[in-house]
Structure 1
Amino acid sequence: MLSVIGIGPGSQAMMTMEAIEALQAAEIVVGYKTYTHLVKAFTGDKQVIKTGMCKEIERCQAAIELAQAGHNVALISSGDAGIYGMAGLVLELVGKQKLDVEVRLIPGMTASIAAASLLGAPLMHDFCH
């Protein structure tokens, strides 16, 4: 299984329980090197595959291949993986290649949502994300 996990805006306190549990359950964690450091408390001695910026396709492809090989894989993305994150790319690659791999999307809090509360500036009915 491949879990595409939104890890929130950078604070462990803003990660969802579902994200933490998925990270703890994974055998292998794949992510941008800066983000892997943000979740180190939840990865323990698991295998962690880190890449630099501009390697999104390679990260997704590696995570997909590991999941196809039978591993429980966590691919991490900042914020919410479905909003300018890794979820769209994973689903595109799986669809284009017609792969039989289970993909689970785990939402996370976006920085814009967190900032609204932290700044005391609620987002109202005219907000467009």
Structure 2
Amino acid sequence: MTEFEFISYTEPTQRAGMRFMQRGIEGNIVMLNLLRFRKVADYTAHPELAPEVPISGAEAFNRYIEHTLPFLHESGGEVMFLGDGGEFLIGPEKERWDFIMMIRQSSAESFLAFSNHQEYMTGIGHRTAAIEDSRLLPITELPTSK
């Protein structure tokens, strides 16, 4: 890949989903989200959710969060952290992330149940419209020694 090529990651691949389940994660799981927003949200794939006037990717993502929170809480999940991103202090100089989000779920199974919830899925188009690129890293807590 040359420095001019851009690969966007907005959805998990089937292989990544399979590897996630094969990890056999037990107990709490934290999902670290790194998000880069589109300047203008693209509702092409979900015109039924498109606002009357164009909005930014950040605004579309806020609509996604508002829609999602009840389903997240219902599944036992919680928002641990929301924050503005930027450029890395250590990392690729040309890589930046607009928004960082950490979500805790009680288990991998509850995360999957949440992400496949029918009513939750009706608002996923706001996320699709908002995101130019993303990373999602499932994190598990290490046991601490006493």
TM over 0.5: no
Structure 2 length normalisation: TM-score? Answer: 0.25
- The structure richer in strand per residue is 2
Structure 1 length normalisation: TM-score? Answer: 0.27
Which structure would you say has the larger RCO, counting Cα contacts within 8 Å and 6 or more residues apart? 2
Return the index of the structure with the highest Cα Rg: 2
